Amino acid sequence: MDRTLESLRHIIAQVLPHRDPALVFKDLNVVSMLQEFWESKQQQRAPFPSEGVVVYESLPSPGPPFVSYVTLPGGSCFGNFQCCLSRAEARRDAAKVALINSLFNELPSRRITKEFIMESVQEAVASTNGTLDDADDPSTSIGAYHYMLESNMGKTMLEFQELMTIFQLLHWNGNLKALRETKCSRQEVISYYSQYSLDEKMRSHMALDWIMKEKESPGILSQELRMALRELEEARKAGQELRFYKEKKEILSLALTQIYSDPDTSSPSDDQLSLTALCGYH
């Protein structure tokens, strides 16, 4: 623990040289410090997209407790985990969680190396009752995970998390199962989606999928949205990275909005973002 704190102080001294490392997390101006940190990262030509900025979102509420989210360049999202009596306090608390995670992301242990991959694969094998031989077989889930890690060698965990979020959503949405039925290999799917970021186009496609599911099973959208909101709140209070849960909420909310604004929503065959189009590269 002492070594980790010393490493964090070293990172703060490098990225925020005019700040006192011992006072960083006690400073009430943590919002400006988080912005300053990421501006410094972008000036160093860090691999996160330059168009990304630190973005805050406060949930509408007539009174406390207030909730605030902060999205970092690259897409990672964090929120306040304390009970905050003002919007400003919630914003500061969210910024503090994001700053701590941003600094931890700079530690050497948070970068994907051969040693990290070996340990991660062994943990995956232990948790799934698989074998180490599965790691060399991309048709298995452990093999696909191994391939994803090796394809992102040298990246930090926050960078890798964006790709993982895409595949978490594809699995939740049912798209991965559909892609397997089209005979697309796991490696092809990973290679294809590794080229794309999670944007409005992808969200719209997933929302359309849920609209079709709602037509087949009325009420499933509201049920999934309630579950997503509960998961998001639990993850926020635990101080976890929130993008997967928040994206689920956004996709389901978009689907509900489209249903109520346009009862005759077109079928996937009429939409340019149909699953067939996404599989067309195969």
How many angstroms separate the CA atoms of 183 and 168, rounded? Answer: 20
Residue 93 near residue 80, CB atoms below 8 Å: yes
CA 102 to chain centre: 14
How many angstroms separate the CA atoms of 173 and 68, rounded? Answer: 26
Structure tokens at 35: 């912005």
How many angstroms separate the CA atoms of 157 and 112, rounded? Answer: 7
Question: Would the CA dihedral through 230, 235, 239, 245 be positive or negative?
Answer: negative
C-alpha radius of gyration, the chain, whole number: 21
Looking at residue 265, what DSSP letter applies? P
Backbone angles phi, psi at 71, to 5 degrees: -110, 130
Structure tokens at 267: 């079928």
How many angstroms separate the CA atoms of 268 and 204, rounded? Answer: 11
Residue 272 pLDDT = 35
Tell me which long-range contacts 49-53 makes (C-beta under 8 A, separation of at least 24): 49/73, 49/74, 49/197
How many angstroms separate the CA atoms of 32 and 15, rounded? Answer: 14
Question: Would the CA dihedral through 232, 111, 12, 73 be positive or negative?
Answer: negative
How many angstroms separate the CA atoms of 149 and 135, rounded? Answer: 11
Q: How many CB atoms lie within 10 A of CB 149?
A: 21
Residue 192 near residue 280, CB atoms below 8 Å: no
For the chain, what are the domain ranges?
A: 14-106, 108-197, 199-260
Residue 160 near residue 152, CB atoms below 8 Å: yes
Residue 10 pLDDT = 59
CATH class of the domain at 14-106: alpha beta
Helix (H) / strand (E) element for 133: namely none
Report the greatest alpha carbon distance in the chain. Answer: 60
Low-confidence ranges of the chain (pLDDT < 50): 1-2, 4-5, 50, 266-282
Q: Which of 103, 134, 138 is nearest to 9 (CA)?
A: 103
Q: Whole-model pTM?
A: 0.78
Residue 28 pLDDT = 56
